[in-house]
């Protein structure tokens, strides 16, 4: 029988248990409350967008950008690059432009911060340095810190570190400049509006992340210090890519300066720590043959991993085959390096969810809906090894406009199908294939070889068989887009490069010929490649001409064809005249003359280009990157007769340049100032500017065309009207005024400086070669001999003497019975001469 006592004890126990349960429940709640971590609080009650993968996780939250860096990736080398991916004004900014060198870095924890350090890649080691040397280098070449971030939190399992990367990747900053200093001929400056910066998209892949942001600037553009646009509000879309570099290291290849391959510079120390020398590492893709045994027997092998470019779906269908051909024509060159199907072009995958064009694992050819006309490219390479890991080619929507002008100027005189206002599709495909091929060549690491057409006789470019076999130059990288030499009577000639050239195959073989590291040492590899180049460069078609030699070497001229600039230019001028005379007959459906005006401008610019190419012979010096044992001199002055012939040709062109203008056409187009009037000003200053080059050339060779002979010819030609006491032509007036302005400036500077070397000429000093590589040559050193041009230049004396000679001529002209315009012109010249002579005393 249950008693009251029993019931009471039961109730007491029940109360105790209920209280104990409540206490346990409260304890669990407290425990849960205590478990809310710093990581949880970081994003608590905030709107957050996250992109995650095996690599870095990216968070976008409340206008800030956070990176969640796994601890396992500390001290792993990475690369951070970025460029313009969209813009509100393509007039000044080109999509694809990259204004900073990618940052090579790794993450490291220091106290309560995560810092970005850049591996000190200045030093190159071939493994021969002693232990003592290596210790000394570690002290002298430590890894510098690029930037530090306070650790915001560790994730909940402490496997990753969270940092606020807003200032680095979501705001304009000086470490990652976006706006280029120049765009074409325009100088640019921009003021960022950091408070108006927005993160658009974030993506994370297995080996890289991409972040797309919008930055806003006030953009200012100027041309020759004259403002063109001032503080234009401009929005720029920027895509950053942060990529994990491969752990496996491709063997470095030491460059040979006689082969035009992109490179990075490093320092090499030998056993004597007091001495160092520069070493240049080639930038190239990592190609390894699948069938190494067959490869070593001289048979073609597919690579383990071919170079693959993916073609944007946004391209019109009609464009894609031309793009594919532009990529894959390089397989001909790779065959010489022992590879079969080394490079391929594929469409964007349709059903591959892992594919993303922003993933650095994929190299892409992108369609850019902008008004730009030039195809551009860029690549990312490991600064330590030179391995290219990604490349991009950008094709703008208006690329056809550039192709049209090239082919209209170069072939309309001969090819009736180009006598139209609309570019035929087959011609467009031909041009697009060529432009893509050139950019893919740059993406493979090849440098432009501007002088590659000089090894061809000019008249060979009028021959169908020769041009189909050899193209317009020994390299497709020669920047010779159209054949202005071919005449209407020449049948079946090539008007635009169709394939890679002899030099291109040679350069690809040098860069991509595989040497098994287990069988061939680095020094043996370098020696084998050097011997290959030694043998081949005896043939001029295998030679590389540096763009930096343009100022001295008449062979290195943009767009130039053949080995005789005068003959080639005469052919070109004939074609330009035919084309200009028929603009209204051939270009229909152009009521506002917009197309014709652009063509008219292009024709005038091409005539000016002919003038510049011929003038480059005056004071010209052939610069040859050749070994002494080759028998080819390192430098050679252009023969005197050739220099003077070029000078007289240019003077004749200058004095009759306005004859090319079409006043009737210019009036119809409402042109305020003729293009030819504007270009004539440039021509005058070009004529006067060669005086310094002549001083160097005549110093190097006593048989050269001298400054005195140059000034005699210049004066006799420009002031022929004054000598004959005749009214000057319009060209003579412009050139005579420019001569006096220029001469007075030179004399004034010489008086301030003293002697023959005014301070303004110091910048024209010729730097000497600095041979310092572990292989042959230094690709960055000047090939010109070490000469101080300012000390050799006697221009001030010659200008002053010419003014003394000119004064009595002008006095006679002023007294002569000439037209009022001529009298005013000579009176003004006489006033300037007297002023210059007075100041020069």
SS3 of 520-586: CCHHHHHHHHHHHHHHHCCCHHHCCCCHHHCCCCCCCCCCCCCCCHHHHHHHHHHHHHHHHHCHHHH
> 106 pLDDT band (50/70/90 cuts)?
very high
**How many Å apart are CA 761 and CA 763, to the nearest integer?**
5
Place of tokens 């001289």: 298
Per-residue pLDDT reduced to its tens digit, 318-335: 999 999 999 999 999 999
| Of 105, 102, 100, 137, the residue nearest 119 (C-alpha) | 105
Average pLDDT estimate for 256-273: 80
Tell which wins on pLDDT, 266 or 348. 348
| Of 650, 828, 795, the residue nearest 722 (C-alpha) | 828
> 276 pLDDT band (50/70/90 cuts)?
low
Dihedral over Cα of 476, 479, 484, 485: its sign = negative
C-alpha pair distances (Å), 360 with each of 82, 364, 379: 11, 9, 10
Q: Given the DSSP bridges, would you call strands 621-623 and 635-637 parallel, antiparallel or unpaired? A: antiparallel
Residue 690 clears pLDDT 80, i.e. is over it: yes
Average pLDDT estimate for 437-444: 98
DSSP, residue by residue, 216-277:
EEEEEEEETTEEEEEEEEEEEEEEEEEEEPPSSPPPP-B--TTS-B-EEEEEEE-SSTT-EE
Q: Please report, rounded to a whole number, the percentage of residues in the chain having pLDDT higher than 70.
A: 89
Residue 275 clears pLDDT 80, i.e. is over it: no
pLDDT at position 270 is 61
pLDDT at position 228 is 87
Q: Is 502 helix (H, G, I), strand (E, B) or coil?
A: helix
Place of tokens 């069988």: 519
**How many Å apart are CA 498 and CA 294, to the nearest integer?**
31
Residue 709, classified by CB atoms within 10 Å of its CB into exposed (0-12), middle (13-18) or buried (19+), is middle
Residue 771 clears pLDDT 80, i.e. is over it: no
Per-residue pLDDT reduced to its tens digit, 369-385: 878 899 999 898 988 89
Residue 770 clears pLDDT 80, i.e. is over it: no
| Contacts of residue 831, Cβ cutoff 8 Å, sequence gap at least 6 | none
With beta carbons less than 8 A apart as the criterion, state whether 393 and 436 touch. Answer: yes
**How many Å apart are CA 427 and CA 407, to the nearest integer?**
8
With beta carbons less than 8 A apart as the criterion, state whether 238 and 225 touch. Answer: no
Per-residue pLDDT reduced to its tens digit, 233-248: 999 999 999 999 888 7
> 670 pLDDT band (50/70/90 cuts)?
low
Tell which wins on pLDDT, 166 or 355. 166
Residue 9 clears pLDDT 60, i.e. is over it: no
Per-residue pLDDT reduced to its tens digit, 590-638: 888 889 999 999 999 999 999 999 999 999 999 999 999 999 999 999 9
- pTM of the complete model: 0.87
> 128 pLDDT band (50/70/90 cuts)?
low
Task: Count Cβ atoms below 10 Å from residue 418 Cβ, excluding itself.
Answer: 20
Looking at 56-65, 91-100, 475-484, 566-575, which range is the least confident one? 91-100
Average pLDDT estimate for 684-688: 96
Q: Which helix (H) or strand (E) holds 430?
A: helix 425-443
Query: How many helices and strands, by DSSP H and E, does the chain display?
Result: 24, 23
Question: Across the beta sheet with 276-282, what order do the strands follow?
Answer: 123-124, 263-269, 276-282
Average pLDDT estimate for 447-454: 96
> 438 pLDDT band (50/70/90 cuts)?
very high
The two structure tokens encoding residue 406: 């090239």
Residue 273 clears pLDDT 60, i.e. is over it: no
pLDDT at position 709 is 96
> 27 pLDDT band (50/70/90 cuts)?
low
Place of tokens 């460029």: 83
> 1 pLDDT band (50/70/90 cuts)?
very low
With beta carbons less than 8 A apart as the criterion, state whether 435 and 326 touch. Answer: yes
Residue 763 clears pLDDT 50, i.e. is over it: no
pLDDT at position 140 is 62
Residue 5 clears pLDDT 60, i.e. is over it: no
With beta carbons less than 8 A apart as the criterion, state whether 211 and 80 touch. Answer: no
pLDDT at position 19 is 54
Please list the helix, strand and coil fractions of the chain in percent, rounded to the nearest 5, in that order.
Answer: 40, 20, 40
Average pLDDT estimate for 52-65: 94
Phi and psi at residue 99, in whole multiples of 5°? Answer: -100, 0
With beta carbons less than 8 A apart as the criterion, state whether 663 and 754 touch. Answer: no
Q: Is 209 helix (H, G, I), strand (E, B) or coil?
A: strand
pLDDT at position 759 is 33
| Of 186, 111, 184, the residue nearest 145 (C-alpha) | 111
Average pLDDT estimate for 767-787: 66
Residue 716, classified by CB atoms within 10 Å of its CB into exposed (0-12), middle (13-18) or buried (19+), is exposed
Average pLDDT estimate for 270-294: 83
Per-residue pLDDT reduced to its tens digit, 468-489: 999 999 999 999 999 999 999 9
The two structure tokens encoding residue 718: 């420009």
Long-range contacts at 43-52 (CB < 8 A, ≥ 24 apart): 49/202, 51/202, 51/203, 51/204, 51/209, 52/204
Phi and psi at residue 346, in whole multiples of 5°? Answer: -130, 155
The two structure tokens encoding residue 408: 């209209």
Average pLDDT estimate for 58-83: 94
pLDDT at position 224 is 76
Pick left, alpha or beta for residue 77 (phi over 0 → left; psi -120 to 50 → alpha; otherwise beta): beta
Residue 838 clears pLDDT 90, i.e. is over it: no
Place of tokens 């490079």: 343
Average pLDDT estimate for 391-395: 93
**How many Å apart are CA 664 and CA 662, to the nearest integer?**
5
Average pLDDT estimate for 681-688: 95
Average pLDDT, rounded, for the chain: 89
**Which letter does DSSP use for residue 674 in this model?**
-
With beta carbons less than 8 A apart as the criterion, state whether 179 and 219 touch. Answer: yes
Which residues, in sequence order, are bridge partners of residue 623? Answer: 635
């Amino acid at each position: 029988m249950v008693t009251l006592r029993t019931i009471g004890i039961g109730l007491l126990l029940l109360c105790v248990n209920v209280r104990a349960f409540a206490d346990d429940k409260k304890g669990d709640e407290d425990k849960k409350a205590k478990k809310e971590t710093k990581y949880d609080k970081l994003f608590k009650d905030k709107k957050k967008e996250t992109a995650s993968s095996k690599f870095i996780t990216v968070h976008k939250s409340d206008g800030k950008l956070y990176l969640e860096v796994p601890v396992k990736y500390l001290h792993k080398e990475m690369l951070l690059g970025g460029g313009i991916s969209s813009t509100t004004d393509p007039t000044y900014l080109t999509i694809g432009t990259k204004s900073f060198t990618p940052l090579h870095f790794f993450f490291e924890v220091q106290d309560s911060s995560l810092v970005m350090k850049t591996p000190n890649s200045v030093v190159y080691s071939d493994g021969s340095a002693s232990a003592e040397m290596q210790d000394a280098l570690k002290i002298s070449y430590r890894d510098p810190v690029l930037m530090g971030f306070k650790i915001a939190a560790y994730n909940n399992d402490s496997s990753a570190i969270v940092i606020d990367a807003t200032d680095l990747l979501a705001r304009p900053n000086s470490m990652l400049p976006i706006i280029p200093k120049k765009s074409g001929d325009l100088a640019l400056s921009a003021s960022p509006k950091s408070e108006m910066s927005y993160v658009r998209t974030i993506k994370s892949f297995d080996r890289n992340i991409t972040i797309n942001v919008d930055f806003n600037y006030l953009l200012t553009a100027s041309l020759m210090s004259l403002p063109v646009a001032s503080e234009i509000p401009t929005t720029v879309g920027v895509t950053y890519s942060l990529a994990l570099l491969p752990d496996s290291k491709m063997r470095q290849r030491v460059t040979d300066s006689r082969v035009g391959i992109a490179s990075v510079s490093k320092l090499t120390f030998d056993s004597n720590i007091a001495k160092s020398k520069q070493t240049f590492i080639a930038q190239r893709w990592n190609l390894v043959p699948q069938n190494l045994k067959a490869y070593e027997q001289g048979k073609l092998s597919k690579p383990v991993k071919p170079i693959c470019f993916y073609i944007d779906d946004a391209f019109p269908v009609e464009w894609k085959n031309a793009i594919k051909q532009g990529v894959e024509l390089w397989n001909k060159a790779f065959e010489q390096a022992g590879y079969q199907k080394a490079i391929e072009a594929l469409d964007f995958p349709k059903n591959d969810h892992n594919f993303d064009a922003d993933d650095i694992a994929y190299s892409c050819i992108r369609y850019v809906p902008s008004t730009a006309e030039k195809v551009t490219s860029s690549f990312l390479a490991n600064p330590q090894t030179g391995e290219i890991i990604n490349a991009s080619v950008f094709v703008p929507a208006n690329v056809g406009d550039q192709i049209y002008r090239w082919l209209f100027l170069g072939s309309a005189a001969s090819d009736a199908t180009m006598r139209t206002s609309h570019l035929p599709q087959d011609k467009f495909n031909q041009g697009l294939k060529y432009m893509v091929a050139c950019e893919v060549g740059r993406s493979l690491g090849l440098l432009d070889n501007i002088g590659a057409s000089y090894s061809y006789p000019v008249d060979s470019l009028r021959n169908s068989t020769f041009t189909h076999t050899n193209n317009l130059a020994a390299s497709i990288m020669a920047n010779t887009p159209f054949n202005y030499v071919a005449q209407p009577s020449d049948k079946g000639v090539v008007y635009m490069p169709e394939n890679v050239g002899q030099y291109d195959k040679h350069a690809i073989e040098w860069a991509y010929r595989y040497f098994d590291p287990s069988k061939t040492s680095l020094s043996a590899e370098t020696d084998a490649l050097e011997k290959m180049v030694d043998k081949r460069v005896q043939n001029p078609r295998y030679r590389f001409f540096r763009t930096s030699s343009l100022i001295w070497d008449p062979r290195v001229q943009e767009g130039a064809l053949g080995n005789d600039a005068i003959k080639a230019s005469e052919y070109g001028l004939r074609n330009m005249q035919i084309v200009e005379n028929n603009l209204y007959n051939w270009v229909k459906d152009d009521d506002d003359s917009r197309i014709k005006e652009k063509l008219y401008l292009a024709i005038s610019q091409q005539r000016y280009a002919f003038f510049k190419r011929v003038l480059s012979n005056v004071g010209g010096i052939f610069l040859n990157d050749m070994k002494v044992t080759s028998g080819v001199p390192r430098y050679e002055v252009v023969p005197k007769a050739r220099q003077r012939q070029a000078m007289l040709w240019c003077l004749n062109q200058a004095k009759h340049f306005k004859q090319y203008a079409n006043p009737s056409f210019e009036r119809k187009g409402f042109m305020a100032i003729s293009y030819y009037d504007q270009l004539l000003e440039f021509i005058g200053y070009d004529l006067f500017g060669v005086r310094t080059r002549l001083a160097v050339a005549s110093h190097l060779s006593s048989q050269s065309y001298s400054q005195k002979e140059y000034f005699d010819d210049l004066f006799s030609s420009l002031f022929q009207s004054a000598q004959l006491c005749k009214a000057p032509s319009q060209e003579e007036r412009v050139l005579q005024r420019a001569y006096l302005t220029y001469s007075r400036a030179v004399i004034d500077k010489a008086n301030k400086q003293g002697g023959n070397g005014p301070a303004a000429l110091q910048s024209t000093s010729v730097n000497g070669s600095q041979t310092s590589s572990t292989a042959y040559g230094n690709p960055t050193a000047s090939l010109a001999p070490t000469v101080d041009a300012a000390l050799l230049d006697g221009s001030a004396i010659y200008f002053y003497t010419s003014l003394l000679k000119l004064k009595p001529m002008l006095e006679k002209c002023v007294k002569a019975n000439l037209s009022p315009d001529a009298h005013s012109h000579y009176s003004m010249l006489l006033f300037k001469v007297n002023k210059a002579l007075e100041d020069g005393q």
